[in-house]
């Protein structure tokens, strides 16, 4: 069987980096992307030195021409793609109130957490359509959920609003793409990695190891062609929107 090709955004560190590692260990050819070419090359070389099939390519997810350029490169080299993982994200605005929001910050957050995933998914669609059973995974968050009582939309007062709204909208995008792409047999799901220790001190606050957060994402990236689509999952189990 032909080796499966996966591309992960925001993969030079954190959950994305570990997702690349786990997919490569599962025999995928993985394209590790990030906005800074130096960081991308360093991260990809670290995994390649371990004998893993990882290639680093710089890609700025907020920039149309950068994403198009990478899609053309991947098409030329591999001819198709099996998995896109929209992982790049951030702006966890714990220190900001919804009632006193700097809308430039909110707009930047929507651009990063919502529109980038939209842009990357759309641009890579022709490559995903070249193989049966391809997958798009949107790395969402309990912070965008109506039902998560720890981090969700009605927890944490009015804080984490730009981030929460952007991740809720990302879930809506998952539903829209999943519905549209059903006819093409492309599976589209949202995944929450859970509270994961990607910054200093997070473990002491109760965050779980990065390998566990990444495994939650890898589950959706490696679904069989008859797997679920249009769902929101953590650790392979459906969770509330």
Ligand X SMILES: NC(=O)c1ccc[n+]([C@@H]2O[C@H](COP(=O)([O-])OP(=O)(O)OC[C@H]3O[C@@H](n4cnc5c(N)ncnc54)[C@H](OP(=O)(O)O)[C@@H]3O)[C@@H](O)[C@H]2O)c1
Contact indicator for 145, 170 with CB cutoff of 8 Å: no
**Lateral strand order in the sheet of 187-191:** 54-58, 29-34, 5-8, 83-86, 135-139, 187-191, 232-234, 237-238
Q: Report the residue number, 61 or 181, with the smaller CB distance to ligand X.
A: 61
Contact indicator for 137, 189 with CB cutoff of 8 Å: yes
Contact call for residue 193 and ligand X (CB under 6 A): yes
Nearest-angstrom CA–CA distance, 220 and 232:
10
Q: Compute the half-sphere exposure of residue 114: CA atoms within 13 Å on the CB side of its CA.
A: 20
Contact pick of 5, 52, 54, 61 for ligand X (by CB under 6 A): 61
Q: How far is the CB of 97 from ligand X (least distance, A)?
A: 20
Contact call for residue 152 and ligand X (CB under 6 A): no
Q: How far is the CB of 41 from ligand X (least distance, A)?
A: 13
Contact call for residue 16 and ligand X (CB under 6 A): yes
* 183 exposure class (CB count in 10 Å sphere: 0-12, 13-18, 19+): exposed
Contact pick of 123, 196, 216, 229 for ligand X (by CB under 6 A): 196
What is the end-to-end Cα distance of the chain in Å, rounded? 36
Nearest CA-CA partner of 102 in 111, 90, 93: 93
Q: How far is the CB of 22 from ligand X (least distance, A)?
A: 13
SS3 91: coil
Q: How far is the CB of 120 from ligand X (least distance, A)?
A: 11
Stated as kind and residue range, the H or E segment containing 89 is none
Site string for ligand X, 28-47 (x = CB under 6 A): ------xxx--x--------
Q: Report the residue number, 25 or 212, with the smaller CB distance to ligand X.
A: 212
SS3 3: coil
Q: Report the residue number, 13 or 129, with the smaller CB distance to ligand X.
A: 13
Q: How far is the CB of 187 from ligand X (least distance, A)?
A: 19
Q: Which of residues 121-150 bind ligand X (CB under 6 A)?
A: 139, 141
Q: Report the residue number, 144 or 229, with the smaller CB distance to ligand X.
A: 144
Angle at 221 between CA 53 and CA 89, to 5 degrees: 90
Contact pick of 25, 41, 62, 66 for ligand X (by CB under 6 A): 62
Q: Which of residues 68-127 bind ligand X (CB under 6 A)?
A: 87-90, 112
Query: Which residues of this protein are in contact with ligand X, per CB under 6 A?
Result: 10, 12-16, 34-36, 39, 61-62, 87-90, 112, 139, 141, 192-193, 195-196, 198, 207
């Amino acid at each position: 069987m032909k080796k499966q090709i996966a591309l992960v955004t925001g993969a030079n560190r954190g959950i994305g980096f570990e997702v690349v590692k786990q997919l490569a260990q599962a025999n995928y050819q993985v394209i590790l992307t990030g906005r800074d070419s130096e960081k991308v090359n360093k991260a990809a070389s670290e995994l390649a030195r371990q004998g893993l099939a990882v290639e680093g390519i710089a890609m700025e997810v907020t920039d149309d021409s950068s994403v198009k350029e990478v899609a053309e490169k991947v098409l030329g080299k591999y001819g198709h793609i099996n998995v896109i993982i929209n992982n790049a994200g951030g702006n966890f605005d714990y220190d900001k109130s919804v009632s006193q929001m700097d809308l430039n910050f909110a707009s930047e957050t929507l651009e990063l957490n919502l529109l980038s995933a939209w842009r990357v998914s759309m641009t890579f669609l022709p490559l995903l359509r070249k193989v049966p059973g391809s997958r798009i995974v949107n790395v969402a968050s309990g912070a965008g959920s109506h039902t998560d009582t720890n981090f969700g939309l009605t927890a944490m007062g009015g804080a984490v609003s730009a981030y929460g709204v952007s991740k809720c909208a990302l879930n809506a995008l998952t539903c829209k793409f999943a519905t549209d792409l059903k006819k093409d047999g492309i599976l589209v799901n949202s995944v929450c990695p859970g509270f994961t220790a990607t910054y200093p001190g997070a473990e002491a606050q109760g965050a779980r190891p990065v390998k566990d957060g990444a495994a939650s994402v890898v589950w959706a990236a490696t679904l069989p062609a008859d797997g679920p689509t249009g769902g929101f999952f953590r650790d392979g189990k459906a969770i509330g929107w």
